[in-house]
Structure 1
């Protein structure tokens, strides 16, 4: 499994790429592998407010629907409509074309609870 070093990770299997005063969010390689073939993605609208730890959408796979939990609070700036139209991109390329949303950062301190790639890899390994 691939966990890029430049990203931060949540225990809910979300990755975060910080870009100035915003961050891009997606599901990890581990999450997409556990889910299997992803068949649907439900995301918020641009301009929607999200609160840390609240659901900001869901990912549907063959036998399950998994909530996507916001790793921090902010306002949705951009939504990856390609992922909504072609959910399989989350399986094929979870870290690049499979990104989900870009959210402004209301409080950068909320990122302190996220893990490094090494810590996340350990977390996943010890979970199995």
Structure 2
């Protein structure tokens, strides 16, 4: 069973969100990385890019396939995890820590409340199997 930390919010497309001050840190879930397999490439949005909720904003590529990453909320990219360019496998080994993708300043800080909590995400995973 995939790890689902209780302190995060989740999307139906398997991104996670952690609040950090005025920013939101975004990554892909343990479930997503497990389905994809060994990560070999990550393409992230440039800082300053405006993102629309639910729209493609990044790409993660594994030995099996490439997959889009979707913005969990609307906002502006504040920073990206540049270490992933040289170590995309970090998405596999530490998806909720060092494998974060980018930080976003949300257009509406309350938008995160519309995302799934851990129990709702676990129910989503159960329904997919």
Q: Cα deviations across residues 34-89 of structure 1 (Å, max 9, x unaligned)?
A: 00001110001111111111111110011311000001011111100111221000
Is the counterpart of residue 108 in structure 1 residue 112 in structure 2?
no
TM-score between the two structures when normalised by the length of structure 2: 0.95
TM-score between the two structures when normalised by the length of structure 1: 0.96
- Partner SS, residue 121 of structure 1: helix
Structure-1 separation of matches of 2:85 and 2:10? 22
Segments of structure 1 that go 5 or more residues without pairing to the other structure are: none
Q: Cα deviations across residues 74-123 of structure 1 (Å, max 9, x unaligned)?
A: 11111001112210000000000000000001112322331111110111
**Aligned Cα RMSD in Å?**
1.0
Number of residue-to-residue matches in the alignment: 128
Structure-2 separation of matches of 1:95 and 1:111? 17
Divergent runs of 4+, >4 A: none
Structure-1 separation of matches of 2:20 and 2:40? 29
Structure-2 separation of matches of 1:6 and 1:103? 18
Structure-2 separation of matches of 1:99 and 1:112? 20
- Partner SS, residue 67 of structure 2: strand
Structure-1 separation of matches of 2:52 and 2:92? 26
Structure-2 separation of matches of 1:50 and 1:32? 22
- Partner SS, residue 90 of structure 1: helix
Q: Cα deviations across residues 9-44 of structure 1 (Å, max 9, x unaligned)?
A: 000000000122210000000000000001110001
Is the counterpart of residue 35 in structure 1 residue 36 in structure 2?
yes
User: 2:70 corresponds to which residue?
Assistant: 69
User: 2:11 corresponds to which residue?
Assistant: 10
